[in-house]
Amino acid sequence: MLDLPKIIDQFRVQPGKPFRLKDYDPGWQGDLKKSKSERKELAQKVLMEDVESLTVAQEMLYAADSWSVLVIFQAMDAAGKDGTIKHVMSGVNPQGVQVYSFKHPSAEELDHNFLWRCSKALPERGRIGIFNRSYYEEVLIVRVQPELIVAQRIPNIKPGKQLWEQRYEDIRAFEEHLVRNGTAIVKFFLHVSKEEQRERFLERIDQPEKHWKFSFADVEQRAHWDAYHEAYEDCLAATSTEAAPWFVIPADHKWVTRSLVSRILASTIRSLDLKYPEISEQQRARIAEARANLLAE
């Protein structure tokens, strides 16, 4: 089910190749020759292995202090971003991870360019930064609701294909700059079906303890489902690069989502070939001296 090369081939948005969301099954569950219980058991095993792997990798990332890692999550509402982040990062030292959720921009943020508020939240070397939504909202929700662009007060701006192409170009350049300067980037689109989203909204309505998760605005956005999918298709096709790839992750089954994200993220960090810092002979001698002193107490 989770052979790494096949994952990369199957779920990565390949730069320069035709891309349609309909080619990706949000209900994908792996090898159907196995029973569902076997598949879930395998997925849980993979998740546990990768959570442990991420724990070690994050410690090495912090010690090496050379790379940072930026993880971006985008999705339709109720696709499971929060739960995925919680489960995949469950074993990582909280001091080494920072999570930012980007909501409606503030007045201060609207007085800057569309990348500014996310730029301020980028992870420093040695840390993992997670964006729950991101600057990509500026070519997604702003595209579907172009009246939002008015609030940005950009001179002579007009919503339309030219604007989105310009923003794709800005995003590619921004991410290329980050990668060149030591930030590894991996981006996940959690692909949930319209029917599964409906079921999750109903669950939030029917269970009082989940009312806090329910938003009338989320339901209203379902009317724009096709427009959002078109925006996502154009965005992912235009901004998935070798250096900063997009992965389309099936999200109808949470156990699938979490195991795939954990496997891809763990492999991304491993690919950085991180090593603990080497120490000099003088440092080794001082360590040996310190050890001897402690033993002699």
- pLDDT at 54 > cutoff 60: yes
Helix (H) or strand (E) run with residue 179 in it:
helix 161-180
Beta strands, E only, 224-270? 246-250
Does residue 164 surpass a pLDDT of 70? yes
Backbone angles phi, psi at 255, to 5 degrees: -65, -30
What does the alpha-carbon distance between residue 59 and residue 44 come to, in Å, rounded to a whole number?
Answer: 23
Task: Calculate ∠ Cα 39-195-104, nearest 5°.
Answer: 105
Outline where 181-209 has alpha helix (H).
194-206
Say yes or no to pLDDT of 115 above 50.
yes
Would you state the pLDDT for residue 218? 81
User: How many separate domains does the chain show?
Assistant: 1
Has residue 143 got a pLDDT over 90? yes
Tokens of residue 112, six digits: 């800057």
Q: Report whether pLDDT(61) > 70.
A: yes
Question: Are the CB atoms for 126 and 62 separated by under 8 Å?
Answer: yes
Nearest to 26 by CA among 88, 76, 94: 76
Instruction: Mention every residue, 6+ apart, whose C-beta is less than 8 A from residue 114.
Output: 135, 138, 152, 167, 170
pLDDT for res 211: 83
Q: What is the CATH number of the domain that holds 174?
A: 3.40.50.300
Please tell me whether the overall predicted TM-score, pTM, comes out greater than 0.85 for this model.
yes
Triad 213, 48, 194: Cα angle to 5°? 35
Q: What is the DSSP string of 39-50?
A: HHHHHHHHHHHH
The confidence band for 2, taking pLDDT boundaries of 50, 70 and 90, is very low
Going by pLDDT thresholds of 50, 70 and 90, the confidence category of residue 165 is very high
Residue-level pLDDT at 231: 97
Q: How do 97-101 and 128-132 pair as beta strands? A: parallel
Q: For 260-276, how does the pLDDT look when each residue is reduced to its tens digit (9 = 90+)?
A: 998 899 889 888 988 88
Q: Which value, in Å, is the radius of gyration of the alpha carbons in the chain?
A: 21
| pLDDT for the residue numbered 5 | 55
Check: CB of residue 84 under 8 Å from CB of residue 257.
yes
Domain that holds residue 161: 4-296
- Band of the pLDDT at 48, cuts 50, 70, 90? confident
pLDDT in tens, 62-90: 999 999 999 999 999 999 999 999 999 98
Token duo for residue 70 = 């930026």
Residues β-bridged to residue 79: none
Rounded distance, CA 211 to CA 182, Å? 41
What pLDDT was estimated at residue 7?
A: 64
- Two tokens at 30? 């792996």
Give buried/exposed letters for 165-200 (b at 16+ CB in 10 A, else e): eebbebbbebbeebbeeebbbbbbbbbbbeebbeeb
Q: What average pLDDT score do residues 27-55 get?
A: 81
Mean pLDDT (the chain) is 91
For 133: left if phi > 0, alpha if psi spans -120 to 50, otherwise beta; the answer is left
Q: Where residue 209 falls among pLDDT bands split at 50, 70, 90? A: confident
First to last CA, the chain: 55
